[in-house]
A and B are shown apart, each in its own frame.
Chain A
């Protein structure tokens, strides 16, 4: 299967502190990769660097043939191809507060891709349906539960049909039953041939859904392999993560 994301030797400092100290990472088509680690291990920062919301000081990032290099962020006009290749679902879902769920999903396809509104709307409704929130199309973000908002945010990212999808702590605001159905939805997306990189510290979710697990500790990859490594951890960072396995432990908030 084709490689959709390759991160090499990624180093990133913020306010004089080195947050990422040489990260190597890859995600293939059809693969759900769980990026794990305790709060502050740098998960969210990796995602932000990949979608060019944050610049990095050394290393390389390639997203489906689009290369990002170290140094200041390029202007948004140069990032247009990247925006088509990777979607992002933020932890705080970041829905547009003044628009309905449906309008949130419609906005980019119509404005960026130039799709006809009627056609885009049909697609958006189908997406919301497939994620189980078709009935909430007319609701505004503040009227949605955490789980519903999460799904609408996923639909919004998927509406642009990106080959690679990044997600930040998608299970943080979900109860166990909803976690299961979200996992199914994500597996379905991988089954369609997308690559998924999911930052999470939810070990149950990773065990059930991920094809591969990458564990970060203090800005480097501590351990990497199939979910089975969670059963038999060899690295102290992985053991620490398993001790914190409660899915309700407070998620890390990133800037």
Chain B
């Protein structure tokens, strides 16, 4: 999706001599005050990051052109040249600096703990949250801080794909605290009642712009512009307009400018980036653990899908008109809507009525979804058993139940076995969708890994290898069963 800013008429043809636009990437789903769709004209975006981007573009004598990109993909996207600079609450981390050309930080954020008002005195610092569930956005400094605290003080970090649901889950009791940037926290407690922010920050950091490594010249030009805008008060005016200015920003600007004058690396001294291989070794245990979650979730969801699917198929063949209609409606509803939507509704939509734990919601969502598909397999398999056999069974005096159990069911089962196995392989892969409801399974763990080391190559290969190790034997089994039973019928 590409939201273009008003005033941008001509698509920039990248003339190397004098580019006329500055393409900048951000995530409008991040919302105010960073980047949000303008309520008055949703085709436009607004926010302090939007104004910072515009200030930079003005300094370069270019026009700012907004490119929508998922927050987690900003680094990879700028690296492959989708836009010139990524700028959307991007955190200053050593891994990022090692991999990309990063600007000087232009805003200081503080990681703060948000808790329910009633827990104000109980959970003041991370150390107070031993054994408690603490949520944050995945693949962020806050998440790293939580992972570190997991070992140190025994909290349970919960990773989210967005920064809205941690706060609603906190209000509903699924979490006991949320650790996130102070402007996100301030925005969220206005939206969700009953929450308070603990004053003492857990950590601090800066937002930076990121450019591709080969784009150093543009980065240096942008650094100069940002430094000028700090000095001339432009950034302060932008931050004041968005109510995110405070005295600490002024001090932060001073530190950034003096470090820049001294020629030092503008961030906290970066440790030498570790090699991919040692990073891989460090991540393999967590990938295997995530694979175990994927496997356990898939097996349990498949078992549920098989049981429900048999029930639905039997109901649609043997049931009365009303039951048949209801079951057909269910199957069509489930098959006609995205699994992602179903998971959201189950976990977040129903949370006012029933507050399912994430794993249970994932299991239920996948199980209910696949039950619809399984039921269609069973229904056609049951109907494939020749009618004359069923009539013969009736003339022998077998009851309908005995016929289903002893004649129709066993033959249908053989017909269904191969397509069922194929579905199980599909389920194994679809289980990656449950990361949207905070279950960290194999794909999510891989994404965290990739963000951390700043490359998808090794994590991608490892992840694919693990999926294949799980699915290839199943596919082979399906083919064997298919051959065996198709020869049999």
Contact of B392 among A80, A88, A111, A112 (CB under 8 A): A88
- B393 touching A160, Cβ below 8 Å: no
Query: A56 at interface (Cβ–Cβ under 8 A)?
Result: no
CB proximity to A under 8 Å, residues B390-405: 391-400, 402
A142 to B414, CA, bound (A): 16
Query: B345 at interface (Cβ–Cβ under 8 A)?
Result: no
A118 to B137, CA, bound (A): 67
A107 to B406, CA, bound (A): 9
- The tally of CB-CB contacts under 8 A between chains A and B is 66
Contact of B386 among A88, A94, A156 (CB under 8 A): A94
- A111 touching B406, Cβ below 8 Å: yes
Smallest beta-carbon distance A29→chain B, Å: 20
Please name the residue on chain B nearest to A54 by beta carbon.
B391
B388: chain A residues within 8 A (beta carbon): 90, 92, 94
Contact of B489 among A95, A97, A111 (CB under 8 A): A97
Query: A231 at interface (Cβ–Cβ under 8 A)?
Result: no
A249 to B456, CA, bound (A): 72
- B397 touching A84, Cβ below 8 Å: yes
| CB within 8 Å for A97 and B399 given contacts A92-B388, A107-B406, A142-B488 | no
| CB within 8 Å for A87 and B395 given contacts A94-B389, A97-B489 | yes
A96: chain B residues within 8 A (beta carbon): 389, 392-393, 407, 411
| CB within 8 Å for A94 and B392 given contacts A107-B406, A111-B406, A142-B488 | yes
CB proximity to B under 8 Å, residues A75-98: 76-77, 80, 83-84, 86-88, 90, 92, 94-98
Smallest beta-carbon distance A127→chain B, Å: 14
Smallest beta-carbon distance B55→chain A, Å: 76
Ordered by A's residue number, 17 sampled pairs between the chains whose C-beta atoms are within 8 Å are A51-B395, A53-B394, A76-B400, A83-B396, A84-B397, A86-B395, A87-B396, A88-B392, A90-B391, A94-B386, A94-B388, A97-B389, A98-B411, A108-B396, A157-B396, A160-B396, A160-B397
A84: chain B residues within 8 A (beta carbon): 397
Please name the residue on chain A nearest to B414 by beta carbon.
A98
Show the binding face of A for B, using Cβ within 8 Å. 51, 53, 76-77, 80, 83-84, 86-88, 90, 92, 94-98, 107-108, 111-112, 142, 153, 156-157, 160
Show the binding face of B for A, using Cβ within 8 Å. 386, 388-389, 391-400, 402, 406-407, 410-411, 414, 488-489
Smallest beta-carbon distance B393→chain A, Å: 7
Please name the residue on chain A nearest to B388 by beta carbon.
A94
Contact of A88 among B395, B414, B489 (CB under 8 A): B395
A87 to B397, CA, bound (A): 9
Please name the residue on chain B nearest to A88 by beta carbon.
B395
Q: Which residue among B386, B388, B407, B414 has the maximum number of chain A CB atoms within 10 Å of its CB?
A: B388
Smallest beta-carbon distance A183→chain B, Å: 23
A217 to B297, CA, bound (A): 65
A80 to B400, CA, bound (A): 12
Please name the residue on chain B nearest to A153 by beta carbon.
B392
Given A76-B399, A83-B397, A97-B411, 16 new contacts (CB under 8 A): A51-B395, A80-B397, A83-B394, A86-B395, A90-B391, A90-B392, A94-B391, A96-B407, A98-B407, A107-B396, A111-B402, A112-B396, A112-B397, A112-B398, A142-B488, A157-B395
Please name the residue on chain A nearest to B413 by beta carbon.
A98
Please name the residue on chain A nearest to B393 by beta carbon.
A96
B398: chain A residues within 8 A (beta carbon): 107-108, 111-112
Contact of B391 among A53, A80, A112 (CB under 8 A): A53
A107: chain B residues within 8 A (beta carbon): 396, 398, 406-407
Smallest beta-carbon distance A159→chain B, Å: 8
Smallest beta-carbon distance B280→chain A, Å: 50
Please name the residue on chain B nearest to A81 by beta carbon.
B397
Closest 7 CB pairs of A and B: A83-B397, A94-B392, A108-B396, A94-B388, A112-B397, A88-B395, A51-B395
A156 to B395, CA, bound (A): 11
A153: chain B residues within 8 A (beta carbon): 392
B400: chain A residues within 8 A (beta carbon): 76
A95 to B396, CA, bound (A): 12
Please name the residue on chain A nearest to B485 by beta carbon.
A98
B386: chain A residues within 8 A (beta carbon): 94, 97
